[in-house]
Structure 1
Amino acid sequence: MKALLLDAPGPPETLRLGEAQAPHAGPGEIVVRVKACGLNPVDYRVAQSGNPAWTWPHILGLDVAGVVEEVGQDVSGFVPGDKVAYHGDLRRNGGYAEFAVTAADTVAPMPQGLSFERAAALPCAGMTAYQAINRRLHLHAGDTILVTGGAGGVGGFAIQLARSRQARVFTTASPANLMYVGRLGADIVFDYHTDDVPTSVRELTNGYGVDGVIDTIGPDSARDNLELVAYGGGLVAVAGRPETNPVRPFTTSPSVHEISLGAVHAYGNPAARKDLVTMLTAIMRRVANGTLDAMLTETVSLAHVPAALAHLATRHARGKTVYVAD
């Protein structure tokens, strides 16, 4: 089969088009004919480091949407021809290929009216935001939340999901994306180049801080933003938890959460694996019924995935980019 291959750890530019052996379904697995695969920052990050479980060459691509091609032993609920989507296991070959194999218990049926490319835009970023809002922060109407990097995939979904819970949403963005994140539903948008975000957040919350923070930037940003969490609130770290805690003991009592969908595949129990399906199903239904924007901004061919990943690595990409099969 045609695939985008990584021969050794390296940047996106080292990916090459080539041929790979088509997979077959083992017990508990299904093979999917890939129709679309979403691009994510985790792709270029793991490409640089590699993974001990990989064999070479490796195929990247976690967010797959396609058609069931083959069903393995002990799999129920799927038959060839079903339209499905899933968040893949980092240890396996992924979706930048004609076919991909995955564990059947983490696969979700696609709802009617949802295109493959929009389904593929959802798993990694959408479920990360969904888990942060609904499983960790438990936002309520009237709560305040700060979402850093609102124009990115996780940030954009987080803005929309927080607004759907009637929270008041603050976010950060570059000058080019201020209006874009406003259209997604942010109430207050800060230009991270020029605005004093900590001071502004405290002024807008009468000095108390926000009920929740979703930090998509990194450990240093997460540490700084922990000081903006109001009493009893929480911070969700998407790109690395804070290495130190600047908050004095027995003051605001913030909770710190780490999101790692990939860890579900490696360490999760059956309930956690089932929740991947539950979350993705909920998100896909909302996109299908028009109450959530998939933020699909660009589709690319397999040959153009390396360049698109390189652009994603600049951290200036907006929304979601998806590889669509010919």
Structure 2
Amino acid sequence: MMRAIVIDGPGKPDSMRLAEVRLPEPGRNEIRVRVRAASLNPVDYKVMAGGHPNWTYPFISGVDTAGIVDAVGEDVSEWKTGDRVVYHGDVAKPGGFAEFAVTSAHTAAAIPEGLSFEATAAFPCAGLTAYQALFRKMRLGAGQSIFIHAGAGGVGGYALQLARVASASRIITSASPHNFDYVRSLGADDVIDYNTEDVHSRIMELTDGRGADCILNTINRATAQADLSALAFGGQLATIAGAPETVADFQPSWKSITLHKLMLGGAHTSQDRAAQEELARMSAEMMELMLQGKVSPMISETVALEEVPGALMRLSQRHVRGKIVMVIT
């Protein structure tokens, strides 16, 4: 048996509870991980609200997990007990808010010496989303400008740091005034107060009327629609919270824009093994940047297993800066 935070049906995080549940067993091509840390993400409470067709209750959430391989299933040769690993898990399967968790072996990445379980658990969902958007999709590089919505959030904060790694010519973000210094410390050159300023007009002003070469939208479809007007010629828009509804009718059509619709967890849903292996490769690349001191895990708070429901409730109220990480010692 093991301790876990479970939910008994669709609902809010405050309906979660600490329980004793059966220890999971790894199947073919799976590993069991003794959980040392797991980060909290918006996807955890968003899916929880409506439930998932593949869930069996009581269910354990938590898509980002770091820990020690405790057991290996049949046909697993790349891992052995005692290995330190981190992974972005499948939201449809039991997750990391527990003392032990199971994942497919090929989605896990080895944690290098010099990085803690807490630091590595913090990045997968938010960090890999930002990494995929900037480096795999838009291929941001030197001489390009980028606007990143909500720079104080998880995806936005990692994206700011990665834009600095990419040597973007101008890094612009939006935030509330109390987070201005924070987002500048992550790499922002210019910060727009989304509470009092017209974000898209300011983007045009800051880019001398040209528009941003790249925009990362983490907000919603309506904002993504408005983002099209703030793109430069040949610009790219990456969205993680819904694509614009009328891209085909966007004017002026001569801007020749490119749209990227991201869904990191789709690698699991699609059952595409190559896409799942890419999660592990991107994780390894992110950890190398962390080792070099170029990317911070942005941990704002650590909590114990039994504190996860309250912390996830705070996260759902959208007033958390950086990342909250659950730690099991």
Matched residue type, 2:42 = P
Q: Distance between the aligned counterparts of 1:46 and 1:146, measured in 2? A: 28
How far apart, CA to CA, are the structure 1 residues paired with 2:252 and 2:192? 30
**Which segment drifts farther, 94-103 or 196-205?**
196-205
Partner SS state of residue 253, structure 2: coil
- For 1:13, the equivalent position in structure 2 comes to 14
Q: Indicate the residue corresponding to 1:323 in structure 2.
A: 326
Distance 1:260 1:269 in 2: 13
Alignment map for 1:229-308 (pairs within 5 Å): 229-245=231-247, 247-248=250-251, 250-308=253-311
Instruction: Identify the residue that residue 163 of structure 1 maps to in structure 2.
Output: 164
User: Separation in 2 of the partners of 1:196 and 1:261?
Assistant: 30
Stretches of 4+ aligned residues off by more than 6 angstroms: none
Letter in 1 for 2:291: A
Shift of 1:206: 2.2
CA–CA distance in structure 2, aligned partners of residues 290 and 164 of structure 1? 11
Partner residue in 2 for 1:313:
316
Per the TM alignment, residue 268 of structure 1 is displaced from its structure 2 partner at its CA by: 4.8
Report how far residue 220 of structure 1 moved.
1.3
CA–CA distance in structure 1, aligned partners of residues 180 and 207 of structure 2 = 21
| One-letter code aligned to 1:190 | I
Provide the TM-score with structure 2 as the length reference.
0.97
Alignment partners' CA distance in 1, 2:252 and 2:71: 55
Q: Which runs of 5+ in 1 are unaligned?
A: none
Contact 2:39 2:323 in 1 (8 A): yes
Partner of 1:198: 200
> For 1:175, which of 174, 177, 180 is the aligned residue?
177
Alignment partners' CA distance in 2, 1:49 and 1:237: 22
Q: Deviations over 1:251-297 (max 9, x none)?
A: 21211111111110121533212111110011112212312111011
Structure 2 equivalent of residue 134 of structure 1: 135
Displacement of 1:299 after TM fit?
Answer: 0.3
Equivalent runs, 1:143-154 vs 2, <5 Å = 143-154=144-155
Aligned counterparts of 1:137 and 1:277: Cα–Cα separation in 2 = 20
Structure 1 window deviating more from structure 2 (253-262 vs 30-39): it is 253-262
Counterpart amino acid of residue 259 in structure 2? V
Q: Supply the RMSD in Å over aligned alpha carbons.
A: 1.1
Task: Give distance in 1, aligned partners of 2:155 and 2:25.
Answer: 32
In 1: Cα distance, 2:18 partner to 2:197 partner: 44
For structure 2, list consecutive stretches of 5 or more residues without a partner in the other structure: none
CA gap of 1:316–1:8, structure 2 versus 1, over 3 A, is same
**Other structure's SS at 2:255 match:** coil
Letter in 1 for 2:67: G
CA contact under 8 A between 2:161 and 2:294: conserved in structure 1? no
SS at match of 2:254: coil
TM-score with structure 1 setting the length? 0.98
Q: Distance in 1 between matches of 2:82 and 2:208?
A: 56
Q: What's the offset of the Cα at 1:249?
A: 6.2
Could you tell me how far apart the structure 2 residues matched to 1:76 and 1:223 are?
Answer: 47
CA distance in structure 1 between the aligned counterparts of 2:108 and 2:260, rounded to whole angstroms: 25
